[in-house]
Structure 1
Amino acid sequence: MGKPKRGRCAKRNKNKATEPDELVQAPHSFVIHRGLPGAHILELTKDFRRVMEPYTATSLKERKKNTIKDFLSVAGPLHVSHICIFSKTSLGMYLKIARLPRGPTLTFKIHNFSLARDVVSSLKKQSVVEEAFKHAPLIVLNSFSGEGLHLKMMASMFQNMFPTINLLTVDLNTVRRCVLLNYNSTTKMIDFRHYSIRVVPVGISKGVKKVVQGKVPDLSRCNDIAEFFTKAGMLSESEAEDDPQHQVTVPQKLKTRGTLEQEKSAIRLSELGPRLTLSLIKIEDGLLDGEVLYHDLIHKSEEEREEIQRKREMKKKLKEKRKRIQEENKKKKEELKAQLKEKSMKGQKEKSELRVDTSEQKEEMKIDKNQEENAEVEDDDREYYREEVGEEPDKDLFSSRPGGYKRKFRPPPYGNKKRKTEDGQQRDRNQNQRDTRDGHKKSDGFKSKKRETFRKGAKGGGGERGFKRGGKQSGKGKRVDKTNSANRDNRPVGGNARNYRR
């Protein structure tokens, strides 16, 4: 069989069913909110989604009835590895960061925060470039190298929330944002900041820099174009030359105008927001539940920890036992259902076989009975023929067919008419005799009813014939003829007058 031909659209289609490895291996995240409603927590959730772009669900539609299991069920196909939950209670706001699908979970308390719109509006020069959000930010951790298990877990969680970079193969054009996390060991506070990164050339004047970067210069305060390039007093304090420590040598060619490869350039940061001040409350071993590995406010002894661990193990064993019993009961029900089904199918099969056998027996009995009746009739006819004629009759003389069985009864084509039995015929004959003896025949119902009505009217004073009973003029009990029927000829029209009596 030949290879099927592909159309033009199929050949030109560049879409692939498989995703690139870089996209699959990158950490994805869900950012949701829970607890008491409020405008600030909604905006803070949206700003944090902006920070986690592009590997996050920016337009995630969440409802109150959605549970963590709902997000966990779709996390696998979408390659989601972390979930960030903002919650608000009567005591304050909290941030939970959990690793999917089995934890651990870090709970932070939010002491202070500023929304992105407030941060951007407070800057003198606002620089928000949409191109910067097409790539993941660079994570920078400061002072997380102290002793303690909670510091190591925090550093590992924050690092794994963002994709890793390879310093040898990284493209500097994709590094446009950075997230800074600073830990203060004295106050145990974490400062969260979000910046955009710009690379600007150094060693040139402000005028040259503007011309190089493609900006239109303002020559209203200059007499000559040379004065615009050489005048250093036009620089503001914020645009003065940076400290040499802030200058770097760019190893690659960047898209920014004025920056050259292997030349020194300055790094400028512009804050995008939001700002957060966090403090670690506790670390749990599981997903939003499990053994508490660290708690900043509550400290338990070894005995209390062992007791909690023992209760947790008992609860886990009880859960496994119930699950095992449930599976056994389910298996028993399925076996019982299969047995009942097999029994039902067997009964139906036996019933159908019995029905077929019964019908065949009835047909055989009917045929045998017909044959017996035909044989009796033929025997009687043959005996009569022998007595009268004195010789044996032919073989097929008294049978309608050579087979010797009776022809089946066929109803008449004009329809079935109920035949009267002998009892019904005798009953009709007795009724006719009684009617003849009484001197009249039984009439139909309509005529009988009419005559009965007429008799009642005659006995009751002729109310239906126009007569009126009683009255002062005619005397009590006498009839008054208002129709003048006494002078009318009562002979029937077309009838015989000799049989009429007045």
Structure 2
Amino acid sequence: MGKRKRGRSVKKNLNQNIESNELVRAPHSFVIHRGISGGDTLELTKDFRKVMEPFTASSLKERKKNTIKDFVAIAGPLHVSHLSIFSKTELGMYLKIMRLPRGPTLTFKIHNYSLARDVISSLKKQRVVDAAFKHSPLIVLNSFSGEGLQFKLMASMFQNMFPTLNLTNIDLNTVKRCVLMNYNPATKLIDFRHYCIKITPVGISRGVKKVVQGKVPNLSRCNDITEFFTKAGMMSESEAEDDPNNHVVLAQKIASRGNVESGKSAIRLSELGPRLTLQLIKIEDGLLDGEVLYHELIHKTEEEKEEIQRKREQKRKLKEKRKKVQEANKKAKDELKQKLKDQSLKGMRKDTQNESNTELEKDDDAQYYKEDVGEEPDKDLFSGPTGVKRKHEPLRYKNKKKKSDSIDQKNRTNQNSMNKGNRRMNKFNKQNTNNKKVY
């Protein structure tokens, strides 16, 4: 035989389920929206997903029937560590950031916001690089060193939402974005900003910068190329407004032209959006349901806190009691099912045993008949009572006749009528011959 021709198939990748340690350890996030539909809630949710890329579900499809438990259930296999919820009520918009799977939960009220498309359209020079969203942004916190539990929890939550950076082996080419969180102690508001980072060389004229960056210069107004490089006032873009604090010495080689290792460069920021003005309202210990650790608007006494704790403990004990009762009922139901199943099996065994006994009795009767008479019994002698229809025999109807039988009966009736007519003719001819006169 010839060789069997195999069809096209995809090669099995043995390492397709193995993920790198960097990917597993990086904090992942879900960003969803809840509450009253309409407005800019959906657009703001999409903009915030863009900020959290690449370790977020950018195309997450959510429905109204999905609950928080659904997202918590699938968070473990997908290494999701944070859940952000944008909600809209009659009083305003809120942002809830929670740590999965057990909390805490931070609730912020959104006083002002601007969408990413509005921020970019307001800029004179728009700079949006798709490659910048392939790496996570830097997180910069300002004025979060105040006294109080809320400052520590906010700083820890914001820092853990983004991957940590190792300064010893970081690649500067991957640093393309940054997120700025500024806390204002006077107003107790947090300013959220999202920027794109651009590094430009310092100390060269605009003409040199264009040539270095590979751009074709316009020499129509110059008599000589040296005039283009030495023309007065041809400084680099916004170089006169540069702050010396923005100048840095590069420790690595950057992919962009004009920036060399150990050279001086300037850091420029271009806003990407969105803009948010947040105010911390509440901090809960659990996942949307736990002890309130901090509240900006409501302050309770120690007695009220103890009463709330006592009610919470009673609720927890009642829940455990109901759970035990449910487990006991389930166990009793399973035992009853098993008992009924055993009884049905016993009944089936008795029926099969009775059938086997009847078959043995029939065989014994046939053997006794053979020994006494000396002949084999008829097949239907010990097969059971006559007139009993077996399951394998087809049903028969008395009144139903075959088509061939009806045809034969019709032919017989026709033949009888013909014979009767012939007898009548013979009798008539005989009478006529007897009555005939002889002349």
Residues 438-477 of structure 1 aligned to structure 2 (within 5 Å): none
Give the direction of change, closer, same or farther, for the CA distance of 1:237–1:287 in structure 2 (3 Å limit).
same
What is the distance in 2 between the residues matched to 1:227 and 1:240?
A: 21
Q: Which residue of 2 aligns with 1:382?
A: none
- Where 1:86 maps in the other structure, the secondary structure is strand
- Where 2:132 maps in the other structure, the secondary structure is helix
What is the distance in 1 between the residues matched to 2:378 and 2:132?
A: 99
Q: CA deviation at 1:340?
A: 2.4
Q: CA deviation at 1:264?
A: 1.2
Q: Which residue of 2 aligns with 1:495?
A: 427
8 Å CA contact 1:27, 1:82 repeated in 2: yes
Give aligned pairs, total: 386
| 2:113 corresponds to 1:117 | no
Q: Which residue of 1 aligns with 2:287?
A: 287
What is the distance in 2 between the residues matched to 1:199 and 1:236?
A: 13
Give the direction of change, closer, same or farther, for the CA distance of 1:10–1:493 in structure 2 (3 Å limit).
closer
User: Unaligned 5+ residue runs, structure 1?
Assistant: 1-8, 372-401, 412-417, 419-445, 447-491
Is 254-263 or 12-21 further displaced after alignment?
12-21
Q: Which residue of 1 aligns with 2:72?
A: 72
Indicate the percent of aligned positions where both proteins have the same amino acid.
69
| 2:77 corresponds to 1:145 | no
| 2:233 corresponds to 1:264 | no
- Where 1:191 maps in the other structure, the secondary structure is strand
| 2:71 corresponds to 1:46 | no
Give the residue type in structure 2 aligned to 1:350: K
Give the residue type in structure 2 aligned to 1:227: E
Q: CA deviation at 1:366?
A: 6.9
Deviation by residue 1:102-143 (Cα, 9 ceiling, x = unmatched): 111111111111111111111111111111111000000000
Residues 212-223 of structure 1 aligned to structure 2 (within 5 Å): 212-223=212-223
Residues 17-36 of structure 1 aligned to structure 2 (within 5 Å): 17-36=17-36
Q: Which residue of 2 aligns with 1:160?
A: 160
Q: Which has the higher contact order (CA 8 A, sep 6+)?
A: 2
- Where 2:223 maps in the other structure, the secondary structure is coil
8 Å CA contact 1:28, 1:81 repeated in 2: yes
Give the residue type in structure 2 aligned to 1:229: F
If the length of structure 2 is used for normalisation, what is the TM-score? Answer: 0.81
Give the direction of change, closer, same or farther, for the CA distance of 1:165–1:301 in structure 2 (3 Å limit).
same
What is the distance in 1 between the residues matched to 2:218 and 2:84?
A: 48
Q: Which residue of 2 aligns with 1:60?
A: 60
Residues 398-437 of structure 1 aligned to structure 2 (within 5 Å): 404-405=373-374, 408-409=377-378
What is the distance in 2 between the residues matched to 1:362 and 1:206?
A: 115
What is the distance in 2 between the residues matched to 1:204 and 1:92?
A: 50
Q: CA deviation at 1:227?
A: 2.2
- Where 2:191 maps in the other structure, the secondary structure is strand
Give the residue type in structure 1 aligned to 2:313: E
Give the direction of change, closer, same or farther, for the CA distance of 1:146–1:98 in structure 2 (3 Å limit).
same
Q: Which residue of 1 aligns with 2:336?
A: 336
What is the distance in 2 between the residues matched to 1:282 and 1:295?
A: 4
What is the distance in 1 between the residues matched to 2:13 and 2:378?
A: 78
Q: CA deviation at 1:274?
A: 0.5
Q: CA deviation at 1:38?
A: 1.8
Give the direction of change, closer, same or farther, for the CA distance of 1:15–1:213 in structure 2 (3 Å limit).
farther
Q: CA deviation at 1:330?
A: 1.3
What is the distance in 2 between the residues matched to 1:14 and 1:170?
A: 30
8 Å CA contact 2:281, 2:296 repeated in 1: yes
Q: Which residue of 2 aligns with 1:465?
A: none
8 Å CA contact 2:205, 2:236 repeated in 1: no
Give the residue type in structure 2 aligned to 1:152: K
Give the residue type in structure 1 aligned to 2:200: V
8 Å CA contact 1:202, 1:241 repeated in 2: no
Q: CA deviation at 1:362?
A: 5.2
Is 161-170 or 212-221 further displaced after alignment?
212-221
Q: Which residue of 2 aligns with 1:322?
A: 322
Deviation by residue 1:227-258 (Cα, 9 ceiling, x = unmatched): 22222324488342622222111111111111
Deviation by residue 1:284-307 (Cα, 9 ceiling, x = unmatched): 111121111111111111111111
- Where 1:270 maps in the other structure, the secondary structure is strand
What is the distance in 2 between the residues matched to 1:169 and 1:279?
A: 36
8 Å CA contact 2:132, 2:176 repeated in 1: yes
What is the distance in 1 between the residues matched to 2:301 and 2:251?
A: 55
RMSD of aligned alpha carbons: 2.8
Give the direction of change, closer, same or farther, for the CA distance of 1:151–1:203 in structure 2 (3 Å limit).
same
Give the direction of change, closer, same or farther, for the CA distance of 1:12–1:201 in structure 2 (3 Å limit).
farther
Q: CA deviation at 1:41?
A: 1.2
8 Å CA contact 2:209, 2:236 repeated in 1: no
- Where 1:269 maps in the other structure, the secondary structure is strand
Is 129-138 or 203-212 further displaced after alignment?
203-212
What is the distance in 2 between the residues matched to 1:363 and 1:236?
A: 114
Q: CA deviation at 1:272?
A: 0.6
8 Å CA contact 1:29, 1:56 repeated in 2: yes
What is the distance in 2 between the residues matched to 1:97 and 1:158?
A: 9
Residues 149-188 of structure 1 aligned to structure 2 (within 5 Å): 149-188=149-188
Q: CA deviation at 1:178?
A: 0.2
Deviation by residue 1:398-434 (Cα, 9 ceiling, x = unmatched): xxxx8634553468xxxxxx9xxxxxxxxxxxxxxxx
- Where 2:85 maps in the other structure, the secondary structure is strand
User: Unaligned 5+ residue runs, structure 2?
Assistant: 1-8, 381-386, 388-412, 414-423, 432-439
What is the distance in 2 between the residues matched to 1:270 and 1:348?
A: 81
What is the distance in 2 between the residues matched to 1:262 and 1:164?
A: 25
If the length of structure 1 is used for normalisation, what is the TM-score? Answer: 0.71
Give the direction of change, closer, same or farther, for the CA distance of 1:493–1:290 in structure 2 (3 Å limit).
same
What is the distance in 1 between the residues matched to 2:250 and 2:11?
A: 42
What is the distance in 2 between the residues matched to 1:138 and 1:187?
A: 25
What is the distance in 2 between the residues matched to 1:307 and 1:407?
A: 96
Residues 338-417 of structure 1 aligned to structure 2 (within 5 Å): 338-361=338-361, 363-364=363-364, 370=369, 404-405=373-374, 408-409=377-378
Q: Which residue of 2 aligns with 1:275?
A: 275
> Whose radius of gyration is greater, 1 or 2?
1
What is the distance in 2 between the residues matched to 1:331 and 1:38?
A: 48
